[in-house]
């Protein structure tokens, strides 16, 4: 899959403060974009259902939305904070980190 853009959103949590970021994958350092592509491939992201189960109704847990775009194609997956798949957990951690980096203070 030749991913071009990723839109990431984290909502909910005790604080209820939204964290969102929109990345052009080509803007990321090579090692990060490589890791990202590998995770998406390992997850077979285009074939994932639109909604993964995993803790959404646990009070104060986070909900994540990940949209992957390639040309005119796009696919969105919504997941809770505790997806069963470890690769998905890794992907969430990576996107969280990238999103926090993007909003860092200058």
Residue ranges in contact with Zn ion by CB under 5 A: 59-60
- The least distance separating another protein from the CB of residue 40, rounded to whole angstroms, comes to 15
Among 4, 63, 85, 98, binds another protein (CB under 8 A): 63
- The least distance separating another protein from the CB of residue 22, rounded to whole angstroms, comes to 16
Report whether 46 contacts 72 (CB < 8 A): no
| CA–CA gap between residue 53 and residue 48 (Å, rounded) | 12
Q: Of the listed pieces 21-29, 35-43, 44-52, which binds another protein according to CB under 8 A? A: 44-52
Size of the site for another protein (CB under 8 A): 35
Q: Of the listed pieces 22-30, 32-40, 67-75, which binds another protein according to CB under 8 A? A: 67-75
Burial 6-26 (b: 16+ CB within 10 A, else e): bbbbbebeeeeeebebebebe
Q: Of the listed pieces 25-33, 34-42, 96-104, which binds another protein according to CB under 8 A? A: 96-104
Among 56, 90, 98, 99, binds another protein (CB under 8 A): 56
Beta strands in the chain (DSSP E): 5-12, 19-24, 62-70, 73-80
Report whether 86 contacts 39 (CB < 8 A): no
């Amino acid at each position: 899959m030749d991913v071009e853009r990723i839109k990431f959103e984290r909502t909910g949590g005790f604080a209820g403060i939204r964290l969102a970021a929109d990345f052009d994958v080509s803007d990321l350092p090579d090692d990060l974009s490589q890791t990202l592509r590998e995770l998406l491939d390992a997850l077979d992201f285009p074939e994932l259902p639109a909604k993964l189960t995993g803790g959404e109704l646990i009070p104060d847990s986070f909900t994540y939305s990940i949209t992957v775009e390639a040309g005119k194609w796009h696919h969105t997956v919504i997941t809770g904070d505790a997806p069963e798949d470890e690769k998905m957990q890794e992907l969430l951690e990576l996107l969280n980190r990238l999103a926090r980096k993007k909003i860092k203070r200058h």
